[in-house]
Amino acid sequence: MAVTDTNPGLGPGAAPPGRPGRGAARRRRARSIGGTLLSLALTLLGLLLVTFIIGRVMPIDPVLKVVGDRASQAQYEAAYRAMGLDQPLYIQFWRYIGDVLTGDFGRSISTGQLVVNDIKRVFPATFELATLGTLIGVFVGVPLGVIAAARRGGIIDQIARVVALVGYSMPIFWLGLMGLLVFYGILGWVGGPGRQGIIYDGMVPVVTGLILVDSLIAGDWGAFKDAFSHIILPASLLGYYSLAYISRMTRSFMLEQLSSEYITTARVKGLSERAVIWRHAFRNIQIPLVTVIALSFGSLLEGSVLTEIIFSWPGLGQYITNALLSGDMNAVLGGTVVVGICFVLLNLFSDLLYRVLDPRSK
C-alpha cells in the first residue's frame, strides 16, 4: 500500500518545520554576541590608547618623579631604560596593554603603594556614594517624570521642570557647601565630612569595602547609623543631580509614547488612565530608560570629584585629584582606566538588559 505524504512541502532529507528558524536565530544571536564582544574590545583598546597618549604628552617627567631632582645623569639614564622609555612607542604601548590586562598600573609616587591596591581601597567609597545617589535619582526621578508627562502643564509638571532646571544650573560644589552649612553646621541633622566619625573609624571589619553593608554584616547598628549620617548628604546632592537628568528624560520619553496611536486605542477600549500610563506607555520606555540610568550612574562614578573633595570623601575622585596635583601619573592613568572600564561595563550591562526587556533584540 502506498504511503501518502502528509507534508508534501518536505522533500527527502529536509529538516522538520521550525529547525531552520531556530538555526537562523542562533546565528543571529551569535553574530550579535560577537559584534558586542568586538565592540567591547575595540572600545577598551581605544581607551588604553588615549590614556597611553595622555601619559606621554603630559609635561611631567616620570623619571624625575622616581629618581628625584638630585639624581645624577647615570641614575637618570638607568631609570629611563628600566622604565622602558628608550623603546619605540609601539613597543611601549604593547607593554602598557599587557600591564593593564594583568592589573599592573605601576606604583603610586604619592602613597608608595601599588596603584591597583590604592584603587581597591578607595573605589568602594565612590561606588557606595554613586550607587546611593543613583537609587535616589531613580526612585524619585522616574515617578516624577512619568507624572509630569501624564499631567502635562499641571503643577507637578511645572515643579518637575523647575527641579530639573535648578539641578542643571546650580554648581554642585555650591550646593555641597550650603548643605554642610545648613544641615551639619546649623541644624546638626547629618554627620560631617568623611565616611565615619572618629569613634567608629576602623571599628567595622572590612568585608566588601562598603561601610553601610559591612556594618550590617557586623551587626553594628551604631556604626551603620553613623555611616548613614555621613553619606546621606553627599548622596542626596548627587541624587538630586541624577534625578534632574532622569526625570527630564523620563518625561520626554513618556510624552512621545502618550501621543502614540496605541495609547489612543487603549483609552478608547476603556482602560483606566493608570493602566494606560503604567502598563502600556511606561513599559515601552523601559529600554531607553535603562541607558539613561546607566549613563547617570557612570557620570556619578567619574563626576563626583567635587563632591568628594567638599565632603572629604576618600573615594576615587579625590584620589585622582590628589595624584594629579602631585604629578603622580601612574595613579592618574590607573584611576582613569578604571573609570573608563566602568563605563564600558555599564554599556554592556545595558545591552544585556535590552535583550531581557525586548525579546525582538535577541
**134-182 tens-digit pLDDT:** 999 999 999 999 999 988 888 888 888 888 888 777 888 888 889 899 9
Q: Could you say which DSSP state residue 111 is in?
A: T
Does domain 116-361 bear CATH number 3.90.550.10? Answer: no
Give the confidence band of 3 by pLDDT, cuts at 50, 70, 90. very low
Residue 107 backbone dihedrals phi, psi, to 5 degrees: -110, 135
Q: Parse the chain into domains and list their residue ranges.
A: 32-101, 116-361
Per mean pLDDT, which of 60-69, 117-126, 164-173 is the most reliable?
117-126
Express each pLDDT in 99-109 by its tens digit.
888 888 888 88
Higher pLDDT, 131 or 15: 131
Q: What percent of the chain has pLDDT over 90?
A: 19
Give the confidence band of 21 by pLDDT, cuts at 50, 70, 90. low
C-alpha–C-alpha distance, residues 204 and 216, integer Å: 9
Per mean pLDDT, which of 32-46, 55-69, 200-214 is the most reliable?
200-214
Whole-Å CA distances, 190 to 25, 54, 216, 318 = 55, 40, 19, 21
Q: Evaluate if residue 5 carries a pLDDT over 50.
A: no
Task: Indicate the length of the chain as a whole number.
Answer: 362
User: What single string gives the DSSP state of each residue in 297-321?
Assistant: HHHHHHH-HHHHHHTT--SHHHHHH
Mean pLDDT score of the chain, rounded to an integer?
82
C-alpha–C-alpha distance, residues 41 and 310, integer Å: 36
Express each pLDDT in 189-237 by its tens digit.
988 888 888 888 778 888 888 999 999 998 889 999 999 999 999 999 9
Give the helix ranges, DSSP H, for the chain. Answer: 19-57, 62-67, 73-82, 89-101, 115-150, 155-169, 172-179, 211-218, 221-258, 261-268, 273-274, 282-284, 286-303, 305-310, 316-325, 329-357
Asked whether the CA dihedral 285, 286, 287, 291 is positive or negative, the reply is positive
Express each pLDDT in 237-294 by its tens digit.
999 988 888 999 999 999 998 888 888 888 888 888 888 888 888 888 888 898 889 8
C-alpha–C-alpha distance, residues 86 and 34, integer Å: 38
Q: Evaluate if residue 9 carries a pLDDT over 80.
A: no
